Amino acid sequence: MAKRVAIVGTGQTFHKSHRPDVNGQELINEAVQRALADADLTMKDIDAILIGNMDHFEGINYVDCWSVDGCGGVMKPVIKITTGGTTGASLAIGGYHMVGSGMFEKVLIIGWEKNSESDTTGAITTAFDPIWDRQVFAGAISGLAAEAQAYMARFGASDRDGARVSVRDRKHAMNNPHAQLRKEVSLEDVLASPMLADPIHLLDVCPRSDGACAVIMASEDSAEKICPVPDWIWGTSAHNTYSYLGDGDWGRLTSMEQCAKEVFKKAGIKEPRKELDVIEMYQPYSFAGLIWIEDMGIVGHGEAPQFVWDGNTDMGGELPVNPSGGVIACNPIGATGLIRCAEAAMQVMGKAEGRQVPDVKFAVSTGFGGCMWTNMLLHGKRKPN
Residues of this chain that interact with another protein (CB under 8 A) are 20-21, 59, 119, 121-123, 125-126, 130-139, 141-142, 145-147, 149-150, 153, 194-198, 200, 242-248, 250-251
Q: Between 21 and 359, whose beta carbon lies closer to another protein?
A: 21
Contact, 244 vs 133, CB < 8 A? yes
- Read off the DSSP letter of residue 203: G
Q: How far is the CB of 37 from another protein (least distance, A)?
A: 26
Q: Between 132 and 309, whose beta carbon lies closer to another protein?
A: 132
Based on C-alpha coordinates, what's the Rg of the chain?
19
Q: How far is the CB of 152 from another protein (least distance, A)?
A: 9
Distance CA 213, CA 219 (A): 20
Q: Between 33 and 240, whose beta carbon lies closer to another protein?
A: 240
345 closest CA partner among 10, 49, 28, 108 = 10
Contact, 105 vs 219, CB < 8 A? yes
Phi–psi pair at 90, nearest 5 degrees: -65, -40
Q: How far is the CB of 202 from another protein (least distance, A)?
A: 8
Q: Between 186 and 243, whose beta carbon lies closer to another protein?
A: 243
C-alpha 39: how far from chain center: 21
Q: Between 264 and 292, whose beta carbon lies closer to another protein?
A: 292
Three-state secondary-structure class, residue 212: strand
Q: How far is the CB of 140 from another protein (least distance, A)?
A: 11
Q: How far is the CB of 57 from another protein (least distance, A)?
A: 12
Q: Between 94 and 211, whose beta carbon lies closer to another protein?
A: 211
Strand segments, DSSP code E, in the chain are: 5-12, 48-52, 78-80, 106-114, 195-197, 200-201, 210-219, 231-239, 278-280, 362-369, 373-380
Q: Between 79 and 138, whose beta carbon lies closer to another protein?
A: 138
Contacts for 152 with CB less than 8 Å, ≥ 6 apart: 158, 159, 199
Q: How far is the CB of 221 from another protein (least distance, A)?
A: 40
Distance CA 338, CA 335 (A): 5
Q: How far is the CB of 63 from another protein (least distance, A)?
A: 18
